């Protein structure tokens, strides 16, 4: 899916109104304005060096995710161009990624955290480009044979639990064992004294 650049709160509300149940991700980024030496007004420089470093670094990943998650709206918002949108979501750091279902904010990732963005996408999107959230075989009711030896299964479960308990004590660090023993002796002598 392509990335839509939003420039106003009314444009955003129109997009969100069209897709109330669809996940929407807004990338709030900054293109810095640099004051010219020969002019009193601020002028926009399109040079990549004038862009917010983390915003520039995460942009290719955001574009790749937009191609992968076709069932999600991907929007970009320049905080200097659409201040009303940035203030609506109280964006104070760039980049910030706001995740919405309809008009409801469901998640937020601050900074160029690609793993955090992907985790939020997996968590809130219903499907990602034809893949499902569960990739196992799964089972259906009545789909497999019932265990024939119920008593044997129960005995094995009890044995496994007992082995796990004894293995848990055996796996404790020797220094911790000594410390616990010393504390026990201290309590015993205190009680007897």
Whether 52 is catalytic is yes
Report the chain's mean pLDDT, rounded to a whole number.
Answer: 78
Of the residues 23, 55, 79, 82, which is catalytic?
55
Indicate whether 140 belongs to any domain.
no
Are 28 and 109 within one domain? yes
Whether 39 is catalytic is no
Of the residues 52, 72, 79, 121, which is catalytic?
52
Give residue-wise pLDDT tens across range 111-125: 889 999 999 999 998
Query: Which neighbouring-strand residues pair with 42?
Result: 35
Nearest by Cα to 88 from 3, 28, 24: 28
Count of the separate structural domains present in the chain: 2
Indicate whether 154 belongs to any domain.
no
Query: In whole angstroms, what is the distance from residue 41 CA to residue 10 CA?
Result: 27
CB of 77 within 8 A of CB of 27?
yes
Query: In whole angstroms, what is the distance from residue 45 CA to residue 50 CA?
Result: 7
Give residue-wise pLDDT tens across range 16-74: 988 888 999 999 998 764 444 443 444 444 444 455 788 888 989 999 999 999 899 99
CB of 95 within 8 A of CB of 112?
yes
3-state secondary structure of 180: helix
- Looking at the chain, the whole-number percentage of residues with pLDDT higher than 70 is 69
Structural domain that includes position 183: 160-192
110 CB-side CA count, 13 A:
5
Q: What is the domain-level CATH number for residue 116? A: 3.40.30.10
3-state secondary structure of 190: helix
Are 64 and 12 within one domain? yes
CB of 6 within 8 A of CB of 76?
yes
Question: Greater confidence, 138 or 132?
Answer: 138
């Amino acid at each position: 899916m392509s990335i839509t650049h939003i420039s106003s709160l009314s444009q955003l509300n129109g997009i969100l109104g069209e897709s109330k149940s669809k996940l929407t991700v807004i990338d709030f980024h900054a293109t810095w304005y640099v004051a010219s030496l020969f002019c009193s007004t601020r002028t926009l420089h399109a040079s990549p060096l004038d862009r917010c470093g983390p915003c520039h670094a995460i942009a290719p990943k955001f574009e790749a995710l937009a191609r992968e998650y076709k069932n999600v709206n991907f929007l970009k918002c320049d905080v200097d161009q659409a201040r009303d949108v940035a203030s609506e979501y109280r964006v104070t750091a760039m980049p910030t990624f706001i995740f919405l279902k309809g008009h409801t904010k469901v998640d937020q990732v601050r900074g160029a955290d690609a793993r955090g963005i992907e985790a939020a996408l997996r968590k809130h999107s219903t499907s990602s480009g034809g893949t499902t959230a569960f990739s196992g075989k799964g089972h259906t009711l009545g789909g497999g044979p019932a265990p024939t030896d119920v008593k044997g299964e129960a005995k094995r479960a009890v044995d496994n639990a007992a082995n796990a308990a004894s293995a848990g004590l055996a796996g404790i660090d020797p220094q911790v064992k000594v410390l616990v023993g010393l504390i026990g002796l201290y309590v015993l002598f205190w009680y007897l004294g």
